[in-house]
Amino acid sequence: MHTDITLTRDVEAIQIPSGDAVQLPLGTRVIITQALGGTYTVATDHGLARISAKDVDALGIDPNAETAGEPDSSTNIPADATPLELQVWEQLKNVYDPEIPVNIVDLGLVYGCRVVEEEGGKKAQISMTLTAPGCGMGPTIAADAQSRIMTIEEIDDAAVDLVWEPAWNQGMISEEGKMKLGMV
């Protein structure tokens, strides 16, 4: 990828790996290092930053352009998932750690996905972890997951909880993820 671009406007971004909000000013030269799930990881003179899908126009990218999606299968999605839970899993496959070119489902970061009926409607309950407990991007990744789940019409609420047990390890990566990372 590594596309060199000059920002067409000021844009809010998330510093990687700290997770701190930063402002990238108009005219800043960036290099796109990863474009997955509608978000863009860019290299700046001050390090890496993540630009969200809502701000892709600052990169000179048409926000309405279709992006190719992931295949609809993953060995990390339970076979007994309900049809609505499958929709949630598919939305989670659009969420990426900005430093790793594999979605959070195939990385094995999602430990649980349930849809429960509550007084206010249907709620998706997600438990997930991170590749490292000190990752400053955790809240950003969890918020991205929650916002993508909320695009499902039948879902009225979503909770994404970060958990640390069991500790994540590379053995949790799906076969699809291992192929993308060159581990097989």
The per-residue pLDDT for range 79-111, each reduced to its tens digit, is 999 999 999 999 999 999 888 889 999 999 999
- Residue closest to 172 by CA, chosen among 101, 90, 74, 98: 74
Rounded-to-integer distance, Cα 81 and Cα 126, Å = 13
Domain regions of the chain by residue span: 3-59, 83-180
Do domains 3-59 and 83-180 share one topology? The answer is: no
CB atoms within 10 A of CB 182: 6
Burial of 75 (0-12, 13-18, 19+ CB in 10 A): middle
What is the architecture, at CATH level 2, of domain 3-59? Answer: Roll (2.30)
Rounded-to-integer distance, Cα 153 and Cα 156, Å = 8
Q: Write the class of the CATH domain 83-180.
A: alpha beta
Strand, helix or coil for residue 128 = strand
Given a cut of 60, is residue 67 above it in pLDDT?
Answer: no
Residue 32 phi, psi dihedral angles, 5° rounding = -75, 120
pLDDT in tens, 22-66: 999 999 999 998 888 888 999 999 899 999 888 999 998 887 765
What average pLDDT does this structure show over 141-163? 95
